[in-house]
Amino acid sequence: MYNARSISKFSLKGKQMTDHATLVSQNKEYTFTSWTSQNAWNPISITHGEGVYFWDADGKRYLDWSSQLFNLNIGHGHPHVIRAIQEQAGKLQYAMPSLATEPRARLGQMLRDVTPAGLTKAFFTTGGADAIENAMKFARLSTGKQKILTRYRAYHGATFGAMTAGGDPRRLANEPGVPWIVRMPDPYSYRHPVYRGRTEAEGDQAIVDMMEEIIHFEGPNNIAALMLEGFSGTSGIMQGGETYWRGVEYLREKYGFLLIIDEVLSGFGRTGEWFGIDHYPWVKPDLMAMAKGLTSGYIPLGGVMMTEKVAHHFDDNVFYGGLTYSDHPIACAAGVANLEVYQNEKLIENSHELGKKLRAGLVDLAEKYEAIGEIRGAGLHYVIELVKNRDTREPLSPYNSAMTEPMKKLAANLREQGMSTFVKWNLVFCAPPLVATEAHIQDGLNILDRAIKDLG
């Protein structure tokens, strides 16, 4: 029987490390961390979790308000997935990708059933970024064209090509990156100048018109694909409305490029639908990248779903791609078990319903506090954008800079109150596991309420 507490202590070279301070100092001394300077790294420790909670090495409980990195959709410690991993590990631990295995076939079949109509074949990777690299490769090889259109305010991963594709500042470490990415303006009605004096729908249309103009400038015959997050994620959930997404489908049809939808973050119920793009049933993806919620992070796995048409190109052409750990049988078994959990426990429906409660609670907070400039999202996927002044919309902490006061104080307050979440610039993300209940959502809202109130 799985006992989360039994794994709460571990030894390194025989030395027990049980307290938080020791764990942090040894992690800092012996390991290198990502996306922050080493000196600024001040992590929460984590020893075990259960559902929407996890515990640090001193026994402090945290509400996991970001599902770790927007991936732990089924929550911590789910016995069904743990059992599936254990059973698969007992049977077949590894198979090179050129061999056929049962969990790989089963997961491919299940994904065909839950992804949008027309996506029929899965290519499995080891995570999100290599799903994106391969999706772009599929598009470029199958069309024989070079360019991929993406957005400025998007993130697609940290490998070389994926990092160029994501237009948000995380790409800047890697400039100029690959030469075949072209970035598009964003449907960010709260801040993009094109929305000034326009309704949201009019602004969305103006963005689509600008995209069309860029397509002309770049040469429609050179464009392999347009790549968009199915639902905008860590760049700040700037999603656009129906006009924008009708425009996307209009451009795809008119110019004949492929559409790559990145569901790495927004897939598997995060936004209250199976996939973010399911909010726009008229949009027809040719390729879909996924990871995160595919296994809820229990084992690394990503994938690319593709249409018959894309797959057909490779019937007689070699696809140059694949890694040693592609199609990993334990990861595929974890994926199968995850999909069973989504289905058996109706987690997509829960995200949809609970999302209404989350939205209502955030709207209440926005009515109470001037510091909330805007809330955006769907399902269990929201962001609060904080401002110094509602009229000027000056951000509470500047764009693309280390957090300044009072945003820093807010982040520290959330942590102090036992909430772990993703906070950057002037944004606080709200993305709890899909196994959350109304009581958990209310707990989270209460913590946010107190922290925003304390801003004074």
Residues at the interface with ligand PLP (CB under 6 A): 127-129, 132, 155-157, 229, 233-234, 262, 264-265, 291
**Structure tokens given for 118:** 């027309």
Distance CA 223, CA 150 (A): 11
Which CB sits closer to ligand PLP, 233 or 240? 233
Q: Cβ 239 to ligand PLP, closest distance in Å?
A: 12
Q: Cβ 303 to ligand PLP, closest distance in Å?
A: 11
DSSP notation for 300-351: --EEEEEEHHHHHHTTSS------TTTT-HHHHHHHHHHHHHHHHTTHHHHH
Which CB sits closer to ligand PLP, 132 or 211? 132
Kindly report the backbone phi and psi dihedral angles of residue 432, in degrees, each rounded to the nearest multiple of 5, phi listed first.
-70, 165
Contact assessment for residue 353 and residue 346, using Cβ atoms and an 8 Å cutoff: no
Burial of 423 from C-beta contacts in 10 A (0-12 / 13-18 / 19+) = buried
Query: Residues in the chain, how many?
Result: 456
Which CB sits closer to ligand PLP, 234 or 239? 234
Q: Cβ 260 to ligand PLP, closest distance in Å?
A: 11
Which CB sits closer to ligand PLP, 48 or 151? 151
**Closest C-alpha to 355, from 382, 373, 329:** 382
Residue, CB closest to ligand PLP:
128
Q: Cβ 119 to ligand PLP, closest distance in Å?
A: 17
Q: Cβ 293 to ligand PLP, closest distance in Å?
A: 11
Antiparallel, parallel or unpaired: β 427-430 and 381-389? antiparallel
Which CB sits closer to ligand PLP, 304 or 330? 304
Which CB sits closer to ligand PLP, 88 or 150? 150
Burial of 109 from C-beta contacts in 10 A (0-12 / 13-18 / 19+) = exposed
Q: Cβ 261 to ligand PLP, closest distance in Å?
A: 10
**Closest C-alpha to 349, from 271, 295, 440, 266:** 271
